[in-house]
Amino acid sequence: MIFEETYTLSNGIKIPKIGLGTWCIENSNVTQAVCEAVKIGYSHFDTAQAYENEEGVGKGIKECGVPREKLFVTTKLAAEAKTYKEAVDAIDDSLKKLGLDYIDMMLIHSPQPWANFRDEERYFDGNIEAWKALEEAYKAGKLRAIGISNFEKQDIDNLFEKCTVKPMVNQLLIHISNTPFELIEYSKSKKMLVEAYSPIAHGEIFKNHTVKEIAKKYSVSITQLCIQYTLQLGTLPLPKTSNPEHMRENTEIDFVISNEDMEVLKNTEKIQDYGEYSFFPVFGGKK
């Protein structure tokens, strides 16, 4: 199964090829979700300070019955932490909430605070400050890998000009109908693995007739088609669910999308409205 396969980061660390996203899973429910996922075979879990469920994820890591070293845990530095001190304190806070001696990977969640997402102000200096804190935690062994999320080319260039440790990952919104090809390739050219969050577009992709027909052609679910699409782009999907049946379905990927169908999917009309999720900055809204 796909969760038994890995990518290798630029520093040699291996990362499972699919992860369980935990966005929008309440802290009170996420412990059980992590434990159920481990039973199925997951070993890679993605959380963030902004999700307010790090405590529950950490509890699940402790209670799941699998040795810590066999699991990969990612969290994200709050987008608002744009000073060195704020970042240092936030890193230590994540370690405390997760209850872990180390975190496998930590990302800067966004180059800008969420209230200013995609504004002209890029917070270049603030990102350098936050990155310095991540570098120091990495060198101290608190973090095994460090990276970024939602960073565009100018934000990437800013870090690479000043960093002593290069980002190993860029986590981006990637799904059928929203594939930032140039940014994906640019990130890869910088030797960063690209992770795909919201690979199923929070269910909005289910409404697309062409996607339905292609999934039917391969006798797979739309969800499975979406996950395989991101894998064939060479990215790492992070589907979010607390439902064990869906967790299992998301890993049962044993088909290949033809080049012809990949081209159709790559050119699928962009989703304009993410429904109840539209207010989130990454989907075009503002908090």
Length of the chain: 287
Q: Cα 46 from chain centroid? A: 6
Those residues with Cβ within 8 angstroms of residue 116's Cβ, 6 or more apart along the chain or in another chain: 123
Concerning whether 51 is annotated as a catalytic residue, the answer is yes
Alpha helices, DSSP H only, in the chain?
Answer: 27-40, 54-63, 84-98, 124-139, 153-162, 181-189, 209-217, 222-232, 244-251, 259-266
Closest listed residue to residue 11, CA positions, set 145, 161, 104? 145
Lookup: tokens for 231:
């894998």
Query: Which one from 7, 42, 51, 138 is the annotated catalytic residue?
Result: 51
CA-to-CA distance for 228 and 220, rounded, in angstroms?
10
The catalytic residue positions are 51
